[in-house]
Amino acid sequence: MLRARDAACAALEQNMNSDRLIIFDTTLRDGEQSPGASMTKDEKVRIARALERLRVDVIEAGFPIASPGDFESVQAVARAVKDSTVCGLARALDRDIDRAGEALADAASGRIHTFIATSPIHMKMKLRMEPEQVIEQAVKAVKRAGKYTDNIEFSPEDAGRSELDFLCRVLEAVIDAGATTVNIPDTVGYNLPHQFGELIRQLIERVPNSDKAVFSVHCHNDLGLAVANSLSSVINGARQVECTINGLGERAGNAALEEVVMAVRTRRDVFTCDTRLETPEIMACSRLVSSITGFAVQPNKAIVGANAFAHESGIHQDGVLKSRETYEIMRAQDVGWAANRIVLGKHSGRNAFRTRLEALDIHLDSEEALNEAFARFKELADKKHEIYDEDLQALVTEASQEA
């Protein structure tokens, strides 16, 4: 028989050895909790279908007890989606869990996600409960969820500010009660990457039955660290990441799905696991979520921002035209852009200018003519943010008329 310490190491190894990283998308639940981002049932179904095409493993469709509309949305998503597991959120209360179970009844694959807070401040100030009562209620909730499904996720809310020993006791108890995924939320985005990764490692090592559950993380972005904390957790054994399209979510948002997925896919030298995602579907999801919620994506947002694969400076353009990898670590097409973009502006160089003219089928008959056109282009570029193809056509026509 394994001694306790060996068993802990084996559990950690088993979690770390799994080469599959589960992507749990909560755009329709935590994302929707972003002020001003609420969605109708039909909108949720459209986004859920896009997420299914992206091949996310789990879609958290909503919080069925929250409103009749959210109940119907979760039910509609559960009926529409076949290839992803559909999940409903429930506090650790019988009525919440029953409502979630009912909403998910028609799902091809359904999951109930139940949670209760475990940090001293939440237990004392919000729940007004003793720690022992919290454990009892968590266990009761997980057992209740077992009436509806074997696929049960438990979250100790505000785990990022909870005491380690207590967290270990809670997790051991809920895994014993039937939780198959234990999700560790950094609810208020308080942790730093090295700390949060260490927390995950400690939990997997110390919880005696940790090999019976998938360890998951759910990071908020209050300090802009949600993605970094999620990735640090994966390096330390987490095998599910909860995230949202475009990083939508409460306050400063959740970890951005596209960033987590592409970091893991791009840095194969670091990560020993990968997702099953069809990454060329990322842009379609990003545009759909942005248009439905009305939340614009900032141009310099990683992966899905308009400038993520655009080059304006002459040095970069020259490099990319010679060999794409000089300034790109991913292919634009791999995340759903039609192509990368060479943007002509005041920092652009002669090589990019000439290449664009050739693409437009404009051939100047001498090096002198090219120099003249390039000088005019620079003058114009000082007055405009971006030079479009029409500007180039006009500029070359003018130059040839004056010559």
For Zn ion, the nearest residue by Cβ is 30
Tell me the CA distances in angstroms from 337 to 236, 290, 295, 313, 334, one per residue in order. 32, 16, 19, 20, 7
Number of helices (H), then strands (E), in the chain: 15, 10
What would the DSSP string read from start to end of 209-260?
TGGGSEEEEEEB-TTS-HHHHHHHHHHTT--EEEEBGGG--STT-B-BHHHH
Q: Which of 25, 30, 57, 70 binds ligand KIV (CB under 6 A)?
A: 30
Shortest Å, Cβ 218 to ligand KIV:
5
Based on the shown chain and the rule CB under 6 A, indicate whether residue 196 belongs to the binding site for ligand KIV. no
- Would you state the structure tokens that stand for residue 394, as one six-digit string? 């006009």
Total residues binding ligand KIV (CB under 6 A):
8
Residues whose CB is less than 8 angstroms from the CB of residue 77 and which lie 6 or more positions away in sequence, other chains included: 28, 44, 45, 48, 59, 61, 62, 86
Among ligand KIV, Zn ion, none, residue 275 binds (CB under 5-8 Å by kind): none
Rounded CA-CA distance 279/294 in Å is 23
Rounded CA-CA distance 295/298 in Å is 9
What stretch of H or E contains 186?
A: strand 181-186
Tell whether 218 is in a known binding site.
yes
Residues whose CB is less than 8 angstroms from the CB of residue 165 and which lie 6 or more positions away in sequence, other chains included: none
Tell whether 113 is in a known binding site.
no
Rounded CA-CA distance 182/273 in Å is 18
Q: How many CB atoms lie within 10 A of CB 393?
A: 13
Which lies closer to Zn ion via its Cβ, residue 15 or residue 34? 34
CA angle 197, 200, 201 (to 5 degrees): 85
Q: Which of 28, 48, 84, 115 binds ligand KIV (CB under 6 A)?
A: 115
Which lies closer to ligand KIV via its Cβ, residue 33 or residue 400? 33
Within positions 116 to 155, which residues make up the interface with Zn ion, using CB under 5 A? none
Tell whether 220 is in a known binding site.
yes
Within positions 203 to 232, which residues make up the interface with ligand KIV, using CB under 6 A? 218, 220
Helix axes 68-80 and 41-54, enclosed angle (nearest 10): 30
Based on the shown chain and the rule CB under 6 A, indicate whether residue 233 belongs to the binding site for ligand KIV. no
Among ligand KIV, Zn ion, none, residue 157 binds (CB under 5-8 Å by kind): ligand KIV
Based on the shown chain and the rule CB under 6 A, indicate whether residue 155 belongs to the binding site for ligand KIV. yes
Which lies closer to Zn ion via its Cβ, residue 30 or residue 318? 30
Total residues binding Zn ion (CB under 5 A):
1
Closest Cα partner for 86 from 71, 99, 75?
Answer: 75
Based on the shown chain and the rule CB under 6 A, indicate whether residue 185 belongs to the binding site for ligand KIV. yes
Among ligand KIV, Zn ion, none, residue 115 binds (CB under 5-8 Å by kind): ligand KIV
Within positions 238 to 277, which residues make up the interface with ligand KIV, using CB under 6 A? none
Stretch that binds Zn ion, among 26-34, 108-116, 123-131, 233-241 (CB under 5 A): 26-34
Shortest Å, Cβ 225 to ligand KIV:
14
Tell me the CA distances in angstroms from 50 to 34, 87, 277, 380, one per residue in order. 20, 16, 12, 42
Q: Which of 96, 98, 157, 172 binds ligand KIV (CB under 6 A)?
A: 157
Shortest Å, Cβ 89 to ligand KIV:
6
Which lies closer to Zn ion via its Cβ, residue 256 or residue 308? 256
What stretch of H or E contains 204?
A: helix 193-206
Rounded CA-CA distance 148/109 in Å is 11
Among Zn ion, ligand KIV, none, residue 155 binds (CB under 5-8 Å by kind): ligand KIV
Tell whether 307 is in a known binding site.
no
Among Zn ion, ligand KIV, none, residue 88 binds (CB under 5-8 Å by kind): none
Shortest Å, Cβ 48 to Zn ion:
19
Among Zn ion, ligand KIV, none, residue 101 binds (CB under 5-8 Å by kind): none
Q: Which of 12, 24, 27, 30 binds Zn ion (CB under 5 A)?
A: 30
Interacting residue ranges for ligand KIV, rule: CB under 6 A = 30, 115, 155, 157, 185, 187, 218, 220
Interacting residue ranges for Zn ion, rule: CB under 5 A = 30
Residue numbers in the known binding site for Mn(2+) are 30, 218, 220, 254
